[in-house]
Structure 1
Amino acid sequence: MNRPLPDPFSDRRRWQWLALAVGVGVLIWLLAPILTPFVVAALLAWIGEPLVRRVEQAGRSRTTAVVLVFCLMTLVIVLAVLLLIPLIERQISKLIDWLPRLGAWITFTAVPWAEERFNLELRGYFDPSNVIMLLRQHWQEAGGIAATVFGGVSRSGLAIIGWIVNLALVPVVTFYFMRDGQAMGRMLRDLLPRPVEPVVVRLAHESDQVLGGFLRGQLSVMIALGAVYATGLSLVGVDLGILIGFIAGLVSFVPYLGAAIGVGLAVIATLVQHGDLMHLALVLGVFGVGQLLESFFLTPWLVGDKIGLHPVAVIFAIMAGGQLFGFLGVLLALPVAAVVVVVGRYLHQRYTESQLYGADETPGSVVGAPSGAIPPAPVGAASAAMEEIAPEGVPTGAIAAEAAPTGEVAPEGAPTGQP
């Protein structure tokens, strides 16, 4: 007979787990400057792990599968950098050249129309001279800050060497994490205390599903929507269509927020550049097609019914991680948020099953009785009911014996239960 495992979250162990969590948090805070490449490598290895398993199932060895997937991921990242950085740079340069047109449109078209339409006095709030002066002041401040930062970096050769070393560490550590990740996981599992090992393994598996539901699903939707919006706006003829499409796609992890921001920016850009209803209708059509693709194709196919992170939880996790640990906190925000969601769900389940919640004291039940048990009737009532049913001369309880399916009638003198 198997002995029941002790409660992994008893009063004594609860304080031990709290002390362990505090110790890990302090250690991460102290080692934050050197942990960034390792966290980036771990995330990249985690993203490529499903593809490595598929290659393994096709008959390849673990090392061969890791080499193939690693080369594929490296090629994708290099192509993305080579293609996207010049494209975004051209879009930003075009935006800077396009700002005077935006200022003229706001001053001479949008503000007079709003004043006439809504009977408001807005011209004093949109004085071009004040806006230009404000931009110059902030531009000078930004230039001074940039000069200070780059000057400090240029004077510190160790800082440049540190950046180069961290950048070179990422692919190396990613390869080793991909190749030896399963062995590391088994080693950590063997180190877990036996009472808590089943719970931790189950929560880790659920955390992986939650995080995978967001990263592998929602991020794919964001990239696909950004590509759809950028391509559609460029075909319509919006000069800043690629930049607006990427912004709308990246913000689309919050439902309807990406489309709303994209529509607002695209409408303003279209009115400034073209100013006719035909281009405006085409822009609205691009975002309408994007929303239809997201609702009926992208989300069901890429996300499906996976349990992901709520958009509010994602925003809060990223902001809190950046505030507490800087760039390392931003990288750790989503994995930590997934673990917190799973652990919170587990604690909620334990709470609803505890005596504090009162799960054993539901209305109509007897304290201490199993859930769903029927409360016994009073002894007097049961005796009266049996006396009414039983015929004269038959002892109480014989009816139950007669009602029991005994098959054949037992002869006299035979033991009970034998024919």
Structure 2
Amino acid sequence: MERAPLEDIALFLRRLQWTALGVGACWLLWVLAPVLTPFVIAAMLGWLGDPWVDRLERTGRSRNVAVSLVFGLMALLVILVLVLLVPLIERQISTLIVSLPRYREWFTATAIPWLEQRSGFEISNWLDLNHLIELVRSNWERAGGVATTLLGYLSRSGFAIMGLVANIALLPVLTFFFLRDWDVLVERVASLIPRDHLATASRLAKESSDVLGAFLRGQFLVMLALGVMYGLGLWAVGLDLGILIGIIAGLLTFVPYLGPASGIILGVIAALVQYGDWKYVAGVLAVFGVGQVVESYWLTPKLVGDRIGLHPVAVIFAVLAGGTLFGFLGMLLALPVAAVANVLLRYAQERYTHSRLYAGDHPTILLDPAIVPVVPKAAAEPAANNNAEQADRAERETQ
């Protein structure tokens, strides 16, 4: 039965309304990105801390006490990172800047001639390392470090300073309120869902939360553990830039093979430039070999498991696309959106495999565990009659 023209027009207008609503939401997100950034960060921190608050509540503590304990622990971790990690990274970068002449000499005198000899290409004509290294070094020395560079950039804009200070001041306040009222917010959102779709929406929301939580919590712990392991291992080998290389390799661990590959390349180059001895190169390879064994057989199975469902290529694309469209806010929202999209795609695949389009008009019904096809009654009666006749014939022949 064909639809009336008025029904087609109404359907088109509804689709047009939803499209306009989606475009308007994206435009509003793009315009309000600087304002929404602290709210998104605080919401993610509140979502990550809510399970710990619920655990403390189950032990008999009140919601406010549990929120205060979790919030205090999170603040302590942030302070420790700022106090310990930031000065350490700045010292490592300063060491790298001081060592740039040695790296330049090694590349121009050893690495590039070796590559040219084996590849047959004149690489030195296309790459002016002297100019690049001197440019980086002069800019770094003029800026005086990471902190001075950042402050110098911000000092050129009073509004940027005010916005940064406001966001930093708002972040702990918003995080505390999100932690305290997270369950209330979830209940209010659930109350707006149509009752007929509440079960499906709850299932999809739980799966999205499990996927994103497993990725963020598990992968963050793996990155942290490997970064510490690589950094301390390379430092024990004797590399001046070992901690910086270990941090870079740990941060890139969320992409399979990219983290250890980049760490090995940087570590081998640092060992050759600093010592020129293959003994230290073997030490670098041993550090990353032990790290890969620990990651493959203990860290990833224990901390991440098989609950992720997010392919590394999808993660990279989501982060890059979000950053291109909405800046830093888009990078923050990339992983949650990718997790939800992944769950929705699995749900769509599930619905498709149960649809008539996939199964056809006459699907074969199988019985489990025997896996015996159900034969229609019309076909079963002749088969039963034939079996009875064969049994009678066999009995008469026996007699």
Under a length normalisation based on structure 2, what TM-score does the superposition of the two structures give? 0.83
Q: Relative to structure 1, is the Cα distance of residues 26 and 378 closer, same or farther in structure 2, using a 3 angstrom cutoff?
A: same
- Tell me, yes or no, if the aligned pair for 1:323 and 1:329 is still in contact at 8 Å: yes
SS class of match (1:307): coil
Q: Kindly report which structure 2 residues correspond to 1:46-195, keeping only aligned pairs within 5 A, or say none.
A: 46-116=47-117, 118=118, 120=120, 122=122, 124-125=124-125, 130-135=128-133, 153-154=154-155, 156-195=157-196
- The verdict on how the C-alpha distance between 1:77 and 1:150 changes in structure 2, with shifts beyond 3 A counting, is closer
Equivalent-residue separation in structure 2 for 1:234 and 1:294 (angstroms): 20
Give matches, 1:358-397, under 5 Å. 358-362=359-363, 373-378=374-379, 381=382, 385=386, 388=389
Q: Deviation string for 1:134-192 (max 9, x for gaps)?
A: 45567889989x99997784354333222111111110010000001001100110111
The letter for the 2-side match of 1:314 is: V
> Hey, what does 1:402 align to over in structure 2?
none
For each residue in 1:379-406, what CA deviation from the matched residue of structure 2 results, as whole angstroms up to 9, or x when unmatched? 9836954984899xxxxxxxxxxxxxxx
CA distance in 1, matches of 2:119, 2:301: 47
Q: 1:91 to 1:352 in 2, by over 3 A?
A: same
Distance apart, 1:71 and its partner CA: 0.5
Q: Is the 8 A contact 1:229 1:249 kept in 2?
A: yes
Counterpart contact for 2:364–2:374, Cα < 8 Å? no
How far apart, in 2, do the equivalents of 1:72 and 1:26 lie? 37
**Aligned AA (1:120):** G
For 1:196, what is the secondary structure of its paired residue?
A: helix
2:7 corresponds to: none
Q: How does 1:19-34 map to 2 (within 5 A)?
A: 21-34=22-35
Aligned residue type for 1:352: T
* Aligned residue identity for 2:341: V
State the shift of 1:12 in Å: 9.5
What's the secondary structure of 2:196's corresponding residue? coil
3-state SS of 1:185 partner: helix
**Counterpart position of 2:6:** none
Q: Work out whether residues 272 and 281 of structure 2, in 8 Å CA contact, stay in contact via their aligned partners in 1.
A: yes
SS in 2 for 1:192: coil
1:283 pairs with 2:281: no
* 2:131 alignment partner AA: M
Alignment CA distance shift 1:285-1:379 (3 Å): closer
**For residue 36 of structure 2, what is the aligned residue in structure 1?**
35
Q: Which runs of 5+ in 2 are unaligned?
A: 1-10, 367-371, 393-399
Task: State how far apart, in whole Å, the 2-side matches of 1:173 and 1:151 are.
Answer: 28
Higher helix fraction (1 or 2): 2
Q: CA 1:269–1:173 in structure 2 vs 1: closer, same or farther (change >3 Å)?
A: same
Indicate how the Cα distance of structure 1 residues 155 and 124 shifts in structure 2: closer, same or farther if over 3 A, else same. Answer: closer
Name which of structure 1's ranges 182-191 and 47-56 shifts more when overlaid on structure 2. Answer: 47-56
* 1:226 maps to 2:227: yes
Question: Are the equivalent residues in 2 in contact too, given 1:101–1:272 (CA < 8 A)?
Answer: yes
In 2, are the aligned partners of 1:212 and 1:308 still within 8 Å (CA)?
no
Cα distance in 2 for residues equivalent to 1:48 and 1:244:
30
Question: 1:303 aligns to what?
Answer: 304
Q: Quickly say closer, same or farther: Cα 1:124–1:28, change in 2 above 3 A.
A: closer
**Residue in 1 that maps onto 2:354:** 353
For the Cα contact (< 8 Å) 1:353–1:359, is it kept in 2?
Answer: no
Change (3 A) 1:359 1:219: farther
What one-letter code is carried by the residue in structure 1 that aligns with 2:82?
V
Q: Which moved more, 1:277-286 or 1:238-247?
A: 277-286
Contact 1:41 1:174 survives alignment (8 Å): yes
Amino acid in structure 2 at the alignment position of 1:347: A
Residues 1:338 and 1:119: Cα distance change in structure 2 (over 3 Å): closer
Aligned AA (1:131): L
Partner of 1:252: 253
Cα RMSD (Å):
3.3
- Cα distance in structure 1, aligned partners of 2:12 and 2:203: 22
- The alpha-carbon distance between structure 1 residues 278 and 136, as it changes in their structure 2 partners (threshold 3 A), is closer
Change (3 A) 1:13 1:125: same
TM-score by length of 1: 0.80
C-alpha displacement at 1:85, in angstroms? Answer: 0.8
2:264 matches 1:263: yes
Kept after mapping to 2: 8 A contact 1:218/1:253? yes
Match in the other structure for 2:5:
none
C-alpha distance in 2 between matches for 1:380 and 1:48: 64
